[in-house]
Amino acid sequence: MQRKKKIAIQVLIILIIISTVFSPLYSAFNYYPTKEEMEGGLSLEYIPLTKIGQLWAILQNQRVSLNTEVPAISTDKLPILQGNASSSVLYVDFEDYIEECGSSADDICFLVTNHNITKTSINTGRLNSIEQVRIDYSDEHILHQVKNGNFVTDTGDYPMSPLGRVKIVDVELVYFDLFDYYPYGYKGETTYYPAWKMTAETSNYGDEVIMIKAMGKQL
């Protein structure tokens, strides 16, 4: 009986220790610094012991979280487009009826029947389909691309230093032509890829718009 009590007390002590140690660590590694904290700078002199994990997580520059839902689209196959358009970012609409597609205010409208595109309306520039690709709208695809640096900003640039801790707060499907490099002043045809346009809160740059290819694989 005494032995059972002793074991129970030991287990209780261990649980208390685990709760005491891991609770701060959990909150530390899920910590996202506010803009004011980043502007004020980080000084070890004023960081309590429980914040050391937070600082370490920031310095790792690998924490990426998706705090929104990836929008569902009515088809998993989209074309890569090539040609000329008035903007590098083209907005997309999906409709079930041809009348709705004809009155769409977006740059591109796809008429979708039984999950397949049956008509494409281009409302800006002149674009032609050059190949079909399968769209990957999984959380894993998005997180993997951002963690591995496979992205550019909406102006086609790649940040000179890591984004830091990244919290993705909005995701939208668009077409984007600045994944490829074009010389300054280039006026020829460009290639528009299906892309996830994401608004992200970053610890190193503040709010950023980042773009990744939405393609899974070619068909």
HSE, CB side, 13 Å, CA atoms: give it for residue 48. Answer: 4
Residue that finishes a domain, picked among 16, 34, 60: 60
Query: In terms of domains, do 49 and 86 share one?
Result: no
Are 52 and 71 members of one domain? no
Residue at a domain's end among 42, 60, 78: 60
Q: What is the DSSP letter of 51?
A: G
Whole-number pLDDT of residue 128: 95
Residues 144 and 180 in one domain: yes
Q: Are residues 89 and 163 in the same domain?
A: yes
Residues 129 and 194 in one domain: yes
- CA–CA distance, 20 with 139 (Å, rounded to integer): 32
Listed in sequence order, the residues at least 6 apart from 181 whose beta carbon sits closer than 8 Å to its beta carbon are none
The reply to whether 86 and 55 lie within a common domain is no
Model's pTM, two decimal places?
Answer: 0.71
Q: Which of 60, 79, 94 is the last residue of a domain?
A: 60
pLDDT at 47: 44
In this predicted structure, what is the pLDDT of residue 35?
42
Same domain flag for 172 and 194: yes
Number of residues that make up the chain? 219
Quote the number of domains for the chain.
2
**pLDDT tens-digit profile of 151-177?**
999 998 887 678 888 999 999 999 999
**Which residues make Cβ contacts (< 8 Å) with residue 53, sequence separation at least 6?**
24, 25, 28, 29, 31
Q: Do both 45 and 100 map to the same domain?
A: no
Q: What's the distance, Cα to Cα, between the start and end of the chain in Å?
A: 69
Residues 204 and 104 in one domain: yes
The answer on 152 and 45 residing in a single domain is no
Residue 88 tokens read as 């590098």
Same domain for 13 and 102:
no
Are residues 162 and 129 part of one domain?
yes
Backbone φ, ψ for residue 114 (5° rounding): 50, 45
What's the domain range around 19?
2-60
Tokens of 159: 């940040």
Tens place of pLDDT for every residue, the chain, 219 residues? Answer: 566 666 667 666 776 666 555 554 444 444 444 444 444 444 444 444 444 444 544 455 458 999 999 998 899 999 999 999 989 999 999 998 888 888 889 999 999 999 999 999 999 889 999 999 999 989 999 998 998 888 999 998 887 678 888 999 999 999 999 999 888 888 899 999 999 999 999 988 899 999 999 987 655
